[in-house]
Amino acid sequence: MIETKKLCFSYGNTPVLKDVSFTAGEGTLISVLGPNGVGKTTFFRCLLGFLKPSSGSVLINGKQVNLYSKRELAHEIAYIPQSYNPVFNHTVLDCVLMGLTSSLSTFEQPGPEHEKKALHCLQMLGIEKLAHRGSMKISGGERQLMLIARALVQDAKVLIMDEPTSSLDYGNSFMVMKCISDLKDRGYTIIFSSHNPEHGLRWADRVLAFKDGCIIADGPAQNALSGNVLKELYAIDVCVNNVSTRDGEYTVCIPLGGTNAQNV
């Protein structure tokens, strides 16, 4: 479980997060939405223990995040950045093994059991065939799945993902989100940010909508992401509708083009 209680954070005299409270249990997929500059990244940095709140608290399994050692925290929560541009052409397997850094002693090298564990993580995501491919020779979607595998090998059950599909095409974006959804079904708690409301509508169990450092909507996506909420977030008129397909019924949002000039 991960929880925040009246979390506040300021850069100098500028408040960024204001009384943010939420709780996420096991096997939950949460989408964090909001325009640029509303505090989503700062929120993640506080969850990860990178930033110390001005007030309030962040708890993982009932223990304040600042009371964990770095090694302990790595076994509780893992971070997947939105992009990764390798400098060296390490193999995908070697990149995944780098996620074991917190588990190894200073001069310890990964052994056969570690490699077996890393290969299992790649297999969970369906990319085990890439294990010995250079990380500079794979697609953006495959590289994003590699980063997720690197987080999984830590054995952390809470995954924080910063815009996991930001640089991906439509097909790779779907592939990554499908894998993220599958991990949720395996019991992982996943919190991801996105600029696409339909990621929340299609995949998330729950949405946190941020504006001006506050949560203005929190709940199941179909309830939290109304046209009024989306207009407040993005300053455009949005129509939210259900669409029936051969696979079932989905909720989609369609921007209508009207703008609120005061918020642009």
* Domain termination site, one of 105, 124, 152: 152
Q: Where are the extended beta strands (E) located within 110-181?
A: 158-161
Question: Are residues 148 and 45 located together in one domain of the fold?
Answer: no
Nearest alpha carbon to residue 263 among 227, 231, 240? 231
Spatial separation of the C-alpha atoms in residues 230 and 224, rounded to whole Å: 9
Spatial separation of the C-alpha atoms in residues 96 and 27, rounded to whole Å: 23
Give a yes or no: residue 256 inside a domain.
Answer: no
Question: Are residues 48 and 162 located together in one domain of the fold?
Answer: yes
Evaluate whether 252 touches 241 at the Cβ level (below 8 Å).
yes
Question: Are residues 164 and 47 located together in one domain of the fold?
Answer: yes
Question: Are residues 3 and 63 located together in one domain of the fold?
Answer: yes
Give a yes or no: residue 240 inside a domain.
Answer: no
The DSSP 8-state label assigned to residue 40 in this structure reads H
Spatial separation of the C-alpha atoms in residues 48 and 162, rounded to whole Å: 12
Evaluate whether 142 touches 127 at the Cβ level (below 8 Å).
yes
CATH number at residue 180: 3.40.50.300
pLDDT tens column, 140-185 = 889 999 999 999 999 889 999 999 988 888 988 898 899 999 999 9
pLDDT tens column, 96-105 = 998 888 777 6
Question: Are residues 195 and 182 located together in one domain of the fold?
Answer: yes
Vertex 178, ends 157 and 182: CA angle to 5°?
40
Overall average pLDDT of the 37-47 stretch: 92
Residue 109 has pLDDT above 90, yes or no: no
Would you list the DSSP string of 33-102? E--TTSSHHHHHHHHTTSS--SEEEEEETTEEGGGS-HHHHHTTEEEE-S----SS--BHHHHHHGGGGG
* Domain termination site, one of 137, 152, 167: 152
Question: Are residues 134 and 169 located together in one domain of the fold?
Answer: no
Give a yes or no: residue 233 inside a domain.
Answer: no
> CB neighbours of 83 closer than 8 A, spacing ≥ 6?
166, 167
**Domain residue limits at 1:** 1-76+156-220
- Tally of domains in the chain: 2
Question: Are residues 33 and 129 located together in one domain of the fold?
Answer: no
Question: Are residues 72 and 194 located together in one domain of the fold?
Answer: yes
Spatial separation of the C-alpha atoms in residues 193 and 199, rounded to whole Å: 9
Vertex 73, ends 69 and 76: CA angle to 5°?
150
The DSSP 8-state label assigned to residue 157 in this structure reads S
Question: Are residues 133 and 183 located together in one domain of the fold?
Answer: no
The pLDDT-based confidence of 10 (bands split at 50, 70, 90) is very high
Give a yes or no: residue 229 inside a domain.
Answer: no
Give a yes or no: residue 244 inside a domain.
Answer: no
Spatial separation of the C-alpha atoms in residues 253 and 250, rounded to whole Å: 10
